Chain A
Amino acid sequence: MNDIAAPSVRLAAEAFEAIRQEAKRAYPHEGCGALLGPAPGEVSETLALPNQEQDKPRVRFTVSPQDYLATEASADARGLTLLGFWHSHPDHPARPSPTDRAYAWPGLLTLVIAVEHGEPQELTAWDVPGPEAPFRQLGLRVGRD
């Protein structure tokens, strides 16, 4: 693992708060949403998306292909980039699971927020630097500084 080369993520304060609120609203289910921004590593906004998981929404999340396409089209139309997705871990640490890794795509950020007893807690940022690479934790800064 080469953490020295790991990029960091800057998250707009409004997006941070939006993630916290949606994660809290979705509890005890997993909440999820898209991360959009003007450049790699610069998340300027988030778009909450419905968790389409039917069987195990407390421990799984699914974004529908239709929601993916609509989100990507919205980003493209506004000159933004779809940078990745966030999801919550109800009553579980903000660490990506094996299932998260199975679905992770190089080139898309993964943000994970823990929600303990309904209250949002730690938020962490991750990526996979290659198709077979493990998750790499990224630095995460909220706000302008």
Chain B
Amino acid sequence: MSVQVRIPTPLRPLVGGRAQVTTNGSTVAEVIGALASEAPQLRAQLLSADGTLRSFVNLYLNGEDVRSRSGLDTTIADGDELTIVPAIAGG
């Protein structure tokens, strides 16, 4: 499945400055894996050592938080858009 991935500003240097990347995968995990194979530093920014989505990262598939669906196992349809949003917070 072809999917458009919107890349947030702090991660753009890892993908050649691009704001949007087209890649493939049948699940969110596969899409992240495909991205990481192209830009290995992305993996550490998005996933914990155990392979789960880092708590400081939000992923939206067609505008819907994947955590409210099946997380990294959420299935992808051809033409979907995955948006990576860094959690901005502090104290």
Contacts and interface: CB of A to CB of B under 8 A. Distances in A.
Given A69-B83, A103-B56, A131-B44, A62 B89 contact: yes
Interface residues of A, number: 31
A135 to B, nearest CB: 11
Contact of B9 (A60, A61, A62, A107): A107
Contacts of B91: 30, 56, 59-61, 97, 99-100
Interface string B28-69: 000000000000000011000000000010101000000000
A53 B89 contact: yes
B55 to A, nearest CB: 9
A62 B55 CA distance: 14
B90 A68 contact: no
Interface of B: 8-13, 19, 44-45, 56, 58, 60, 83, 85-91
